Chains A and B, each alone.
Chain A
Amino acid sequence: MKSLAFATISELQEKLQKKEISTQELLAFFIERFRTHDAGNINSALEVYDPEFILEQSAQHGSLAGIPGLIKDNISQNKCHLSCASKILEGFVASYDATAINRLKKNGALMIGRANMDEFAMGSSTETSAYVKTKNPWDTSRVPGGSSGGSAAAVAAGFVPWSLGSDTGGSVRQPAAFCGVVGLKPTYGLVSRLGLVAYGSSLDQIGVFTRTIRDNALVLSAIAGHDMRDSTSLCVEKKDYTQSLDVKLRDGLRIGVVDEALRFEGMDSDIVSAIEEGVKVFESLGAKIKHIELPTLSYSAAAYFILSRAEAASNLARFDGVRYGMRDMQAKTLSKMYADTRHDGFGSEVKSRIMVGNYVLSAGHSGQFYDNAKVVQNLIRHEFMQAFKDVDILIMPTHPAPAFKFGAFDVDKLQMDLQDYFTCPVNLAGIPALSIPCGLTKSKMPIGMQLIGPHVSEGLLYRTAYAYEQATPWHTMHPAGF
């Protein structure tokens, strides 16, 4: 049964079709893996549902029929708890399905449970969860990354073949890189945000974790496409992204390597070598390599901090103890109830981001911070568009250093925030990016390579990554002990 744990979605579907295993048996197998390997150990899941409940929710046929996956706990699943890993939403039960969940259910996918995360998706290590610390399956003294750390760890450890996360500044790609799996941040608007609890609404996208490119394309195909209930949803036709996969790169493919990213101060030398090796693989597969400068790259994190915190401050105003979630029952007046509930319900990282957001939006400061950040956002977007006139795809590292130890940034939180350095420019520009495994450090921790493309280029990103995957061994490597 061991081989099932790391089987691809297609392999599992074949076993189901040939009736080598039933849907119930396959589900029981994965639930058992959470029981034996996750609970009290990796802690990727906040909750695993009852098999009867899981099976009742989904269609019996479809592109993902019978294939279990784990859902980040900021995506609504009807009748299930939704906590965003925050105390303020303790006991809250979602009353509808997110559009992505609805589409997965129609395609037969099985939602096995809720994944741990940084509180309200604010963090890069999953340490800010109010409930539990998720460990990196490759080295349990290290974090899985974040904010979608539970989703990444579960896929890496073979608890599920796929999971959903969300990515506002890198929260799918960075944990994917830390855990050695594939993570996609789609084009802004490709996947409906209906039912995704908002953090930075203009940057948030639901993303997909898998161990292989084909699996990732399968899941994206199920959830992507226009949704009239999300006004920022793109009017793109539904398509089957697996159709674009090919072991050969597109003829004449031009790849741009972002040089200053590799020269970034504090960049891990093993990561630089792995990316350089990766570029050589693409060259050997026939890609034309160019070197690209993105001068505004070094200002992106600053702009991202401002815009994301500003949006978070207004989005999180709704958690006030009136309509749902916890309430401080001692307060005698309404305003005291708001303030006390939010003091006790939010963790310190969330409070700090709300404060930063209201500071940069306040009279006297918005010109210096918020308005300038919007200008920088336009600049970086413009630079990406210019680059895509010369090349089809850009390559950058996903992360400056491998997964770090728990508590590494307890004192210097700014360094934790700078985990987003290579990923957040992509959110500012609204373009898609894929993090794929491209090697291991000397201490055997996974390394992620980021492929970035222009708007709605997911098909090309998948094709390019698939050719790389088929030519390299990284996707076959899994953490020991699972």
Chain B
Amino acid sequence: MTKITKEEILKIARMSYLDIHDDEIEPMTQQLEAVLSYAERVQEVARLVNEPSNKQMNVFREDVIVRTDVNPILDQAPDREGNFFVVPAIIDQKKK
């Protein structure tokens, strides 16, 4: 049975770049615990074998430049200046 603390939930949310409101912590915890407690069973069989993972094969191709019109892509941006995406301040001024 996987138990998850409030601190862990907040840590995972931070790692996931997900804001999580106070009233969402409890239902989120329950949902994670239910799925993870079920998923834990992979340990039971996994211990019995020692088979290495399948080797993945890389697929290569020539790195060729294909010219495309960037405007349809840049036009999707919520905020844009010329060929740049505009974002809010990266460093919080108040925390200086």
Contacts and interface: CB of A to CB of B under 8 A. Distances in A.
Interface in B67-96: 72-73, 76-79, 85, 87-92
B44 to A, nearest CB: 7
B41 A299 contact: yes
A371 B43 CA distance: 9
A342 B18 contact: yes
A355 B18 contact: yes
A417 B15 contact: no
A322 B51 contact: no
A412 B16 CA distance: 24
Nearest to B75: A93
Contacts of B49: 375, 378-379
Contacts, number: 155
B76 to A, nearest CB: 4
A380 to B, nearest CB: 10
A87 interface: no
B45 A95 contact: no
B19 A342 contact: yes
Greatest chain A CB density within 10 A among B17, B24, B85 is at B17
A332 B88 contact: yes
Nearest to B51: A378
Given A322-B87, A358-B15, A299 B42 contact: yes
Interface in A125-148: none
A334 B76 contact: no
Contact of B88 (A302, A336, A373, A382): A336
Contact of A327 (B24, B78, B89): B78
A359 B46 contact: no
A374 B53 contact: yes
A413 B29 CA distance: 13
A348 B20 CA distance: 11
Contacts of B79: 327
A395 to B, nearest CB: 24
Interface SS of chain A: helix, strand, loop or mixed? helix
Interface in A316-370: 317, 320-327, 329, 331-340, 342-343, 346, 348, 351-352, 354-356, 358-360, 362, 368-369
Contacts of A371: 46
A20 to B, nearest CB: 40
Contacts of B91: 333
Interface of B: 4, 8-9, 12-13, 15-21, 24, 27-28, 31-32, 34-36, 38-46, 49, 51, 53-54, 59, 61, 72-73, 76-79, 85, 87-92
Interface of A: 92-93, 95, 228, 231-232, 296, 299, 301-303, 305-306, 309, 313, 317, 320-327, 329, 331-340, 342-343, 346, 348, 351-352, 354-356, 358-360, 362, 368-369, 371-376, 378-379, 382, 412-414, 417
Given A309-B35, A332-B92, A379-B51, 20 more contacts: A95-B76, A231-B59, A299-B41, A302-B39, A306-B42, A317-B17, A320-B17, A327-B79, A332-B88, A336-B88, A351-B16, A351-B18, A355-B16, A356-B35, A360-B36, A360-B39, A362-B15, A372-B42, A373-B39, A414-B35
